[in-house]
Structure 1
């Protein structure tokens, strides 16, 4: 009886311990705010929501397998981007979308962040890292595959910095060009 009780306690601790170290909570649907364009509603089914890894930052990963569906959604997707925030061009595999998947990841600050005057929706001053600079805004990763997401077929906003990370080498060096 003592061995069974000890085994049950060990199993319970293992289960609690393994979940307490999770970096993200994941939902297999898009849980973005209802205030986003209504045209994005049908995309909730093909999206995933990640919350984390710190301060409950929200990341909405929307997979596309059809070019026409992506191109129809693109004008509405860029509407949720914060004014002045960049679009990062990346290639697959993508942590949020997985392998062999084109699409969009919309990175957002923690819910309710705009209510806090200490963290306005603006870039962080004096931060040279483009990703952490825009941490408290809605910015976009565009996972380009050349077929479903083809840069020759979609308009990129003129007033948006475009940061091309598609050709970064594995050691983190490579083309980091930023085009206004």
Structure 2
């Protein structure tokens, strides 16, 4: 089983209720279905062309760590295992995982004898501003340099020619425009982003 990452733009009140446990993701799906699972306003980053209408949800599928690797130029562990006492103070990191940690939740897999532990994270307006500043200063050439740096590692993640080609032809082309669209809209609408990993 793998995990999937969605970045969801939410109005402040809805986000606070979700993050504090006053409502569940099921409640948000019921009251604001367009935000969580509305196909017309969801952007499946690696599988679709960039939408003209600003999406409420940016969906990374299982390829969120590759996006983080490309943005930072470093290979990161799966399931955010590098989190802990040392929270990264890096807007490139925040673009994928969020700037702030609420806590951890366990997703149990019935077919297995263990559960996956995932962080529940979010970004506030000042974090969104820092992310937008970073995105404004980052060029496609810098992103390609960081991808090249990642591909030179000894990581098994990038051993196959298929994965390497995908990084060059998909991630290098689609990542920055998608993040710029998503986060600039979030800033303009004065919303919060919740990072839903599960």
TM-score (norm 1): 0.27
Larger-Rg structure: 1
User: Which structure is higher in helix share?
Assistant: 2
